[in-house]
Amino acid sequence: MAGTFITFEGIDGSGKSTQLRLVSNFLREHGCETVLTREPGGTTIGSRLRAALLDANEEVDPLTELLVFAADRAQHVRRVLRPALAAGQVVISDRYADATVAYQGAGRGFDSSLISQIVELATEGLVPDLTLLFDISVRESTSRTMRRSNARNKRDRLDIEHADFHERVREAYLQIATSEPNRVKVIDTSGSVETTQGKVKAILIPFLRT
């Protein structure tokens, strides 16, 4: 039996990881076990790649960055996502291939056909059944990531990119949602965590029932 593959996407500071935690607790309490995973870092080697990719002291060439995200994804697809989906599980991933289109494509400026080829190679054509895109202005997301990094006393390498980088990433995500409205649902996260959680449940619960 084929499982269900759901992804959460959005610019840094959009609130997606908080929402993912809350909704997975909710689903578990209601008897729906989900496999929670993420990119980068959904496998053991992926965790090591994640640490290297997000290290703000690391100088990573954009091509290296693109290929390492793809390597992380190849391992994730083959060792985690495909087996879980083949076993009929509901899998929710905090980021997946849309992030490469948005960050490395629009953010770094790689050609869209190269991005498509690399995404296809790493995913072997595995496309999410549903993607929730958490949307917020760059101004608001930046103040959230600043607060988070001050609390952790640490900033991730991509968080410190300029606002126009994050604007391009946001626009690319919204463009994906416009071109694939059946798969990608946009959720405005400018309200409270509770308000956003209500919107997440309103999409996810009926989807999982079908």
Which residues of the shown chain bind ligand TMP in the complex (CB under 6 A)?
12, 38-40, 54, 69, 94-95, 99-100, 103-104, 156, 158
CB of 108 to ligand TMP, least distance (A): 8
Complex with ligand TMP: residue 75 or 210, whichever CB lies closer: 75
CB of 88 to ligand TMP, least distance (A): 25
* Burial class of 116 by CB neighbour count within 10 A (0 to 12, 13 to 18, 19+): middle
Task: Tally Cβ neighbours within 10 Å of residue 50.
Answer: 20
Complex with ligand TMP: residue 85 or 169, whichever CB lies closer: 169
Q: How far apart are CA 154 and CA 144, in angstroms?
A: 13
Complex with ligand TMP: residue 62 or 198, whichever CB lies closer: 62
Distances in Å between the alpha carbon of 40 and those of 143, 145, 158, 203? 23, 18, 13, 25
Complex with ligand TMP: residue 12 or 135, whichever CB lies closer: 12
CB of 156 to ligand TMP, least distance (A): 6
CB of 45 to ligand TMP, least distance (A): 15
Sheet strand arrangement including 34-38: 34-38, 90-94, 4-10, 130-135, 184-188
